[in-house]
Chains A and B, each alone.
Chain A
Amino acid sequence: MKILVCISCVPDTTSKITIDPSTSQISSQGLTFIVGPYDDYALSRAIELKESTGAEVIVLHVGGSESEALIRKCLALGADSAVRVDGNPTTSAQIANAIVSYVNQNPMDLILMGKESIDYNSGIVHGLVAGALGYTHFNPVMHLDIAGYGLKLEVEMDGGKMEVSCPLPAVLGCQEPIAEWKIPSMRGIMTARTKEIVVLPLESIGQIQIVKADIAETARKNKMIKAEDAEQLIDLLRTETNVL
């Protein structure tokens, strides 16, 4: 079985996001990048499946060469090989399209992604890839088991969960508790050095134009109420803000 894990490389969750005034875009100054936390869940489950079933795990990232250290980390965790589609994608369609082109050349049984990237928060790349390839799609998946020639999944839905079975090939968006995040072993780090990262070009497609980025300022009132007057809160919520 061949499993493709698509990873986003995103600013660490504690990053302070700033705008570069000269470009009106998000500044990359002072940001530390990590593999998207949901993508990390997807990768961890793929590695577990490799250990239990002997699956082959390939990691794919669409982005620039600055992400290679993070791709190496995925290899150190146990992925067999990696692909980087080189470029600076600005839309979900470009990312999805790059993944679809790769899979058209290299058919996969299972494609795992995070339920969303924590920079763009779109939550759609997996659906776009599934739609274009005609694969079965589920998102967000909380448990994944191989059952016969297909999968048994627990999937969150609006207002509950469902258990489904589906055939391969499939594209899944993953979320916890699908697997435990893993830490690379020393041996993993050593062997990752010699594993291959194939670099492919990114086709530019799509018509969405980015005009500018802005920081969202949510002004909060920051009013303190003394503990002994706590009941006042209810009055303030009723009169000052009309939320009750």
Chain B
Amino acid sequence: MKKVAIIAQTKEGQLSDTSIQLISFLSSFTPESILLVAIGEVKFASLPASKSVDVITLSEGLWADSSSIEPLLKIVDGFTVFGIKSIQVDNLLSLLAASSSQEMISGVQQLTYSAGKFTISKSIFSGKASLTVTSESASYFSLNRNFDFSGNAAYGDQSISSVTTLTNASGSKASILALKPITGAIPLPDAALVVGAGRGLKDPGNWTIVEDLAKALGAATACSKPVSDLNWRPHHEHVGQTGVKISPNLYIACGISGAIQHLAGVNGSRIVVVINNDPEAPFFKHADYGIVGDVNDILPRLTKKLQSH
């Protein structure tokens, strides 16, 4: 790995912690050059690196076809390219990989590199299993958000050698008609703490107890699929097999039975708390902490306790 590139999404000019960890992690392979391709603006104070980093920022717009990615493709030619899994990052990595006839591995949980060979553990079956693969040639990698950096965070002096902005002036053939960002709430895939609720809440009007608890924790809210199917909650909040996959530090599941399709979206969580009034609910088998009780009683008490100190 002589040259490594990192594709990272920024938010309000900041890189995510995992993207920063990724830069440090890759620096430990002492490549000759590191290139950061930022989707969105990046404020350089947020960039720790032990080596000098070249930065390319991609302007607003669509990077959704070969004609728009052409200039970027020329720049990353010869690089080994990494990113932390997100919709935009994976879409861009896969387009770049195929446009340059390179192989890509997505869902990387662990990665080592020695003597020109990558050994990778890739999670499969929604985290129920993993696959160990080796490759000497793959050069595009999408790492899971809970990638195992194994404490590798060699933060060093930062130094930026050059910054370039790429615009897709050559033109995407597609055009944006409207952007609908989700405002106010903490985006689910990024959230470190998540409170999820299911059909056990009985009525959309009862969600205030879920929202209050989430607010007291600084957590994002999630729901089970039937809840979004019933339009009690927005579709983008549904986690599981067919919904968002989350891997927060803490997931609190309230009034959710723990169907296998739900677990598929949340079993990457570090600590799982289950609150359910049925002691036989299957979710308890997959919980770190379980409380058999009524959500209407337990949730407000937890909120009160958090608010008191």
Contact = CB atoms under 8 A, between A and B. Distances in A.
Given A93-B104, A164-B175, A131 B96 contact: yes
Interface in A1-43: 11, 13-14, 17, 19, 26, 37-38
A156 B243 CA distance: 12
Contact of A230 (B132, B284, B291): B291
A162 B104 contact: no
Interface stretch (A48-56, A72-80, A218-226): A218-226
B287 interface: yes
Nearest to B85: A123
A19 B128 CA distance: 12
B224 interface: no
A93 to B, nearest CB: 5
Contacts of B273: 233, 237
Contacts of A213: 124, 129-132
Contact of B242 (A123, A128, A176): A176
Interface residues of A, number: 79
Contact of B90 (A124, A132, A227): A124
20 contacts: A13-B264, A124-B97, A128-B94, A131-B66, A137-B64, A138-B64, A138-B174, A156-B87, A157-B88, A162-B177, A175-B242, A176-B235, A176-B242, A207-B103, A209-B134, A220-B287, A227-B292, A227-B297, A227-B298, A241-B270
The 5 closest A-B pairs by CB, nearest first: A127-B94, A131-B98, A166-B174, A227-B293, A160-B181
A161 to B, nearest CB: 5
Given A234-B302, A241-B288, A118 B241 contact: yes
A220 B288 contact: yes
A231 B145 CA distance: 31
B50 interface: no
B281 interface: no
B136 A207 contact: yes
A120 to B, nearest CB: 6
A169 to B, nearest CB: 10
Contacts of B90: 123-124, 127
A182 interface: no
Interface string A133-145: 0111111101000
A216 B292 contact: no
A119 interface: yes
A227 B292 CA distance: 6
B180 A160 contact: yes
* Main SS class of interface, A: mixed
A131 B291 contact: no
Contact of B134 (A38, A131, A152, A211): A211
In this complex, the interface size class of chain B, counting residues with CB under 8 Å from chain A, is 35 or more
B135 interface: yes
A224 B280 CA distance: 13
B193 interface: yes
A121 B98 CA distance: 18
Q: Which interface residue of B11, B64, B94 has the most chain A CB atoms within 10 A?
A: B94
B281 to A, nearest CB: 12
Given A124-B142, A136-B65, A218-B267, A166 B173 contact: yes
A207 B91 contact: no
B289 A123 contact: no
B306 A160 contact: no
Given A119-B125, A167-B174, A230-B291, A160 B302 contact: no
Contact of B290 (A207, A224, A234, A243): A224
B65 A216 contact: no
B76 interface: no
Interface in A79-121: 91-93, 96, 118-121
A196 interface: no
